Structure 1
Amino acid sequence: MYFEERKNKGGKLFYVAAERYVDPLTGKKKRASVVYHKNTARARRQAERELIDKIDEIISKKQGFFKGSSMTTFLDLKTSWFEVWQTTVKIQTVKREKLVINRLSDLIADDILLENITPLLIQNCLNEYREKYQSTHSTMQHIKCTLNKIFDYGVLHNAIPFSPSKVVKLNATVEEKRAKKQRLEKKFLDEHEVRAFLSELKMRRNQNYYDLALFLIGTGCRIGEASALTASDIDFDNHLVTIDKSLQAHDLKIDEFYLDTTKTDAGERVEQLPEFVIQALKRVIERNKQLDEHMDNFPSQAFRKFDFLFRTEYGAPITSHSFREILGRVNKVLKKDCKEKYGFEWTKNAIPHSFRHIHISVLRNDPTVPLKEVQARVGHVQEATTNGYTHLMSASQQKSVEAISRFIDKVEVNESKIC
Structure 2
Amino acid sequence: MTSKRMKNDPNRWYCSFRYVNLDGETKQKKKEGFSTKKEADEFERNFLNNIKFNPEMNFKSLYKMYLEDMKPRIKEHTLTNKEYITENKILPYFKDMKISEIGSIEIQRWQNSLLSALNHSTNKPYAPTYLKTINNQLTAIFNYAVKFHNLQNNPVHKVGTIGEKHAPEKEIWSLKEFNTFINLVEDKTLHLGFNILYWSGCRIGELLALTWSDIDFKNNMININKSYQRINGKDVITEPKTKKSIRKITIISSVIEEIEAYKKLFYKPDPDDRIFNCTKHKFEHGITNICKRNNLNKIRIHDLRHSHASLLLNEGINIVALSKRLGHEKVSTTLNIYSHMIPNDDKILNVMENLSVTKS
TM-score band by shorter chain is 0.5 to 0.7
Alignment of 1:195-210 (within 5 A): 195-201=179-185, 204=186, 206-210=187-191
Which residue identity lines up with residue 321 of structure 1 in the other structure? H
Please tell me whether residue 235 in structure 1 is matched to residue 241 in structure 2. Answer: no
**Which digits, 9 at most, give the CA deviation of each residue in 1:367-410, with x for residues without a partner?**
3x222211111111159x9xxxxxxxxxxxxxxxxxxxxxxxxx
Q: Aligned partners of 2:127, 2:300: CA distance in 1, in Å? A: 22
Judged with a 3 Å threshold, the aligned counterparts in structure 2 of structure 1 residues 133 and 322 are, in CA distance, closer, same or farther, namely closer
| Equivalent of residue 151 in structure 1, options 130, 134, 142 | 142
Match of 2:73 in 1: 88
RMSD: 3.6
Match of 2:301 in 1: 352
Paired residue secondary structure (2:156): coil
**Which digits, 9 at most, give the CA deviation of each residue in 1:237-257, with x for residues without a partner?**
3333221111223563xxx42
Query: Is contact 2:217-2:256 (8 Å) kept?
Result: no
Query: Is contact 2:204-2:302 (8 Å) kept?
Result: yes
Match of 1:378 in 2: 326
| Count of residue correspondences | 280
Which residue identity lines up with residue 243 of structure 2 in the other structure? D
Query: Is contact 1:69-1:159 (8 Å) kept?
Result: no
Match of 1:136 in 2: 126
Judged with a 3 Å threshold, the aligned counterparts in structure 2 of structure 1 residues 306 and 155 are, in CA distance, closer, same or farther, namely same
Query: Is contact 1:211-1:281 (8 Å) kept?
Result: no
Structure 1 unaligned segments of length 5 or more: list them.
1-52, 294-303, 312-316, 336-345, 386-419
Match of 1:292 in 2: 267
Judged with a 3 Å threshold, the aligned counterparts in structure 2 of structure 1 residues 349 and 119 are, in CA distance, closer, same or farther, namely same
Match of 1:261 in 2: 239
Q: Aligned partners of 1:132, 1:207: CA distance in 2, in Å? A: 40
Which residue identity lines up with residue 289 of structure 1 in the other structure? K
| Equivalent of residue 192 in structure 1, options 159, 176, 179 | 176
Tell me by how many angstroms 1:231 deviates: 2.3
Query: Is contact 1:224-1:246 (8 Å) kept?
Result: yes
Query: Is contact 2:146-2:154 (8 Å) kept?
Result: yes
Q: Aligned partners of 2:330, 2:102: CA distance in 1, in Å? A: 35
Judged with a 3 Å threshold, the aligned counterparts in structure 2 of structure 1 residues 118 and 358 are, in CA distance, closer, same or farther, namely same
Match of 1:104 in 2: 90
| Equivalent of residue 255 in structure 2, options 280, 295, 298 | 280
Query: Is contact 1:228-1:259 (8 Å) kept?
Result: yes
Query: Is contact 2:224-2:246 (8 Å) kept?
Result: yes
Judged with a 3 Å threshold, the aligned counterparts in structure 2 of structure 1 residues 88 and 283 are, in CA distance, closer, same or farther, namely same
| Equivalent of residue 284 in structure 2, options 316, 324, 332 | 324
Tell me by how many angstroms 1:197 deviates: 0.8
Please tell me whether residue 364 in structure 1 is matched to residue 313 in structure 2. Answer: yes
Judged with a 3 Å threshold, the aligned counterparts in structure 2 of structure 1 residues 289 and 83 are, in CA distance, closer, same or farther, namely same
TM-score (norm 1): 0.57
Match of 1:117 in 2: 102
Tell me by how many angstroms 1:115 deviates: 3.8
Paired residue secondary structure (1:258): strand
Judged with a 3 Å threshold, the aligned counterparts in structure 2 of structure 1 residues 196 and 249 are, in CA distance, closer, same or farther, namely same
Query: Is contact 1:240-1:270 (8 Å) kept?
Result: yes
Which residue identity lines up with residue 98 of structure 1 in the other structure? E
Query: Is contact 1:212-1:310 (8 Å) kept?
Result: no
Please tell me whether residue 245 in structure 1 is matched to residue 255 in structure 2. Answer: no
Query: Is contact 2:93-2:110 (8 Å) kept?
Result: yes
Judged with a 3 Å threshold, the aligned counterparts in structure 2 of structure 1 residues 267 and 170 are, in CA distance, closer, same or farther, namely same
Q: Aligned partners of 1:285, 1:306: CA distance in 2, in Å? A: 13
TM-score (norm 2): 0.66
Q: Aligned partners of 2:311, 2:210: CA distance in 1, in Å? A: 24
Q: Aligned partners of 1:91, 1:267: CA distance in 2, in Å? A: 18
Structure 2 unaligned segments of length 5 or more: list them.
1-38, 120-124, 334-360
Q: Aligned partners of 2:100, 2:181: CA distance in 1, in Å? A: 57
Query: Is contact 1:310-1:318 (8 Å) kept?
Result: no
Q: Which has the larger radius of gyration?
A: 1
Which residue identity lines up with residue 373 of structure 1 in the other structure? A
Query: Is contact 1:208-1:310 (8 Å) kept?
Result: no
Q: Aligned partners of 1:224, 1:321: CA distance in 2, in Å? A: 11
Query: Is contact 1:230-1:309 (8 Å) kept?
Result: yes
Query: Is contact 2:142-2:154 (8 Å) kept?
Result: yes
Q: Aligned partners of 1:194, 1:258: CA distance in 2, in Å? A: 30
Which residue identity lines up with residue 287 of structure 1 in the other structure? Y
